[in-house]
Structure 1
Amino acid sequence: MIGDLLSPSVGGVDSAVYGVGTLGMLVGVVVVTWLLRDDALDAEAGRFRYLMVIPAFAALSYAAMTAGIGVFSVNGYEVEGARYLDWLVTTPVLVGYAGHVVDVDRSVVLGAVGLDATMILTGFVATTTAGTLRWGAFAVSSLAFLVMLYVLFVQYPRRANTTTPERKRLFLRLRNQVGVLWLLYPVIWLASPVGFGLVSTLGTAMLVTFMDVAAKVPYTWVVHEHRGIFRFDREATSDDHDAGGLGDRAGRDAPAATAD
């Protein structure tokens, strides 16, 4: 089974669906490239280079799936190994960057990232096994997902160290982009051939590809729409520093008070 992991297996219509997914992710690459090349932005504060991991790695994964690379058969249905590798690399960035926007404590962000990785890995076990182990792994994956949502929706706001209106607005959009949209993934898994077989393999491929593109490409575009907040923070810090400096100079230049 695992020996077939890198064997090409182009699946006709499935391959066309994954090709569309590849093109969709490349749009995200263009958006992040635009961010990185804008000299007017504070790319260091925005950490835009980390965002490139999301669409770039996803595009590579979808290109692999388009070529049939990373596909192997389990219990009579095909599993896209490249997809799970994609999720294991890109989804922690989605979760972590939302925390970066409002400067959430590092320990909380790492906890959310760890829960995300647990969700993906146990989801992979659920997809590639059968019987009690499958449903046990699905239960663990679902529990990790629910706890991660708690961290995103409750702990992130509580542990945020930067809560300017601009950053809070961006954070809410990114968090909802991740948390709300991802609620459909367990439903798709249960309906797929791996679960109760209510949706065909092709239907599952179409749904998951659409969900992936909808979760990742708009995410980078939302950051692009709010790109100025990092520059504004830098300018505000500079203005405060200058104002403090002027105040100090004014104090030094003012004549000393006398008894008269």
Structure 2
Amino acid sequence: MYLLQRSNDAIKINSDIVNGAHADIHITTHGSDVYWAWCSLMGLCTILFFLWAQMRSEGSRLFHNVAAFTSLIAAIAYFTMASNLGWTGITVEWHRTNSHVAGNTRQIFYVRYIEWFLTTPLILSNLFFVAGMSWQSLVQVILVSWILVVTRLVGALVSTTYKWGYFVFGLVTYIYIVYELLFNVRNHATSLGNDIRKAYLFPAALESLIWLIYPIAWGVCEGGNVIAPDSEAVFYGILDIATIICIPALLLFSLRDVDLARLVPSGPRAEAPVEKAAHQNGTNGAGGLDSSEVANPV
């Protein structure tokens, strides 16, 4: 007999009935265990990011703290899903014969979209700040990212074929964000020097690639009801670990020898001349601005 017997009673305590409605297709204890594992990993990485920040000078902690808050928000969301909370039942468009996805109503975790609504702007903030972009550009891309998340949420909550219209809107906003990251923001990072370009480019490219997989996950989970909610927990969890933990850690590691204080924009007006010059010069403008001009734009 174990002194402390392991058990996960989340599914028993928080059942598959919400507001009197039953979800036929829902997570089991196995899915809850997966969410608990992701929650624990997110929580551990939050602590590590905060400790990493303390090893930097006070003016260089912003990037690490943003990464820590991002993983903290994700940990809270995964705690909620592991507890079998933060969901609603939606009638499926596609009825499957597989026993794991058979039924009329599927469990949709809306808390996942709340997490993305909060974490996606933080992820973009670190990438934009590394490239020395202005607040105006950041606010603009954050607004687009919110449209991306909201359209996916609305699509997940629609039970008819009209859900795929919202799916298309989400793809359009994704294309815009990737264009900004791989062209405009990359050009600006290049204008700050080869070290900044190298630090920015690989994490930004990886983030853009992995974000392309999210629509696939949505299509086989909330959209098409192809894979079971337990498999959904694994699929989305791996993607979130990559975008919220692995890539930000890679970005911070690549910036270990860079003076981070000079990258954070001090205000909307201060950064506008630098960004304008970078857009005009593109990749050929690296020699047009020295470090003093970047740190103190006129």
TM-score by length of 1: 0.79
2:74 is the alignment partner of 1:58: yes
Residue in structure 1 matched with residue 46 of structure 2 by the alignment: 29
The amino acid that maps onto 2:59 is E
Whether the aligned pair in 1 keeps the contact of 2:90 and 2:107 (CA below 8 Å) is: yes
Counterpart CA distance in 2 for 1:134 and 1:74 is 12
2:73 is the alignment partner of 1:44: no
Alpha-carbon distance change, 146 to 119 in structure 1, aligned in 2, over 3 angstroms? same
Counterpart CA distance in 2 for 1:133 and 1:198 is 18
Matches within 5 A, 1:138-153: 138-153=167-182
How much does 1:140 deviate?
A: 0.7
Q: Where does the alignment leave 5 or more consecutive residues of structure 2 unmatched?
A: 1-16, 92-104, 264-290, 293-298
Whether the aligned pair in 2 keeps the contact of 1:23 and 1:59 (CA below 8 Å) is: yes
Secondary structure of the 2:88 match is strand
2:208 is the alignment partner of 1:200: no
Counterpart CA distance in 2 for 1:74 and 1:184 is 23
Counterpart CA distance in 1 for 2:20 and 2:123 is 30
Secondary structure of the 2:48 match is helix
Whether the aligned pair in 2 keeps the contact of 1:15 and 1:66 (CA below 8 Å) is: yes
Alpha-carbon distance change, 228 to 140 in structure 1, aligned in 2, over 3 angstroms? same
Whether the aligned pair in 1 keeps the contact of 2:123 and 2:248 (CA below 8 Å) is: no
Residue in structure 2 matched with residue 244 of structure 1 by the alignment: none
How much does 1:174 deviate?
A: 2.4
How much does 1:211 deviate?
A: 1.0
> C-alpha offsets along residues 142-182 of structure 1, whole Å, 9 cap, x if unaligned?
11111111111112123448622222222113212321111
Residue in structure 2 matched with residue 209 of structure 1 by the alignment: 237
Whether the aligned pair in 2 keeps the contact of 1:116 and 1:148 (CA below 8 Å) is: yes
Counterpart CA distance in 2 for 1:67 and 1:213 is 19
Whether the aligned pair in 1 keeps the contact of 2:200 and 2:251 (CA below 8 Å) is: no
Secondary structure of the 2:166 match is helix
Whether the aligned pair in 2 keeps the contact of 1:103 and 1:161 (CA below 8 Å) is: no
Residue in structure 1 matched with residue 183 of structure 2 by the alignment: 154
The amino acid that maps onto 2:31 is D
Counterpart CA distance in 2 for 1:4 and 1:66 is 21
Q: Which has the higher helix share?
A: 1
The amino acid that maps onto 2:89 is S
Indicate which of 134, 153, 169 corresponds to 1:105.
134
Residue in structure 2 matched with residue 134 of structure 1 by the alignment: 163
How much does 1:88 deviate?
A: 0.6
Counterpart CA distance in 1 for 2:77 and 2:241 is 12
Counterpart CA distance in 2 for 1:204 and 1:173 is 27
Residue correspondences, number: 230
Secondary structure of the 2:226 match is coil
Greater CA radius of gyration, 1 or 2?
Answer: 1
Alpha-carbon distance change, 3 to 160 in structure 1, aligned in 2, over 3 angstroms? farther
Residue in structure 2 matched with residue 164 of structure 1 by the alignment: 193
2:151 is the alignment partner of 1:122: yes
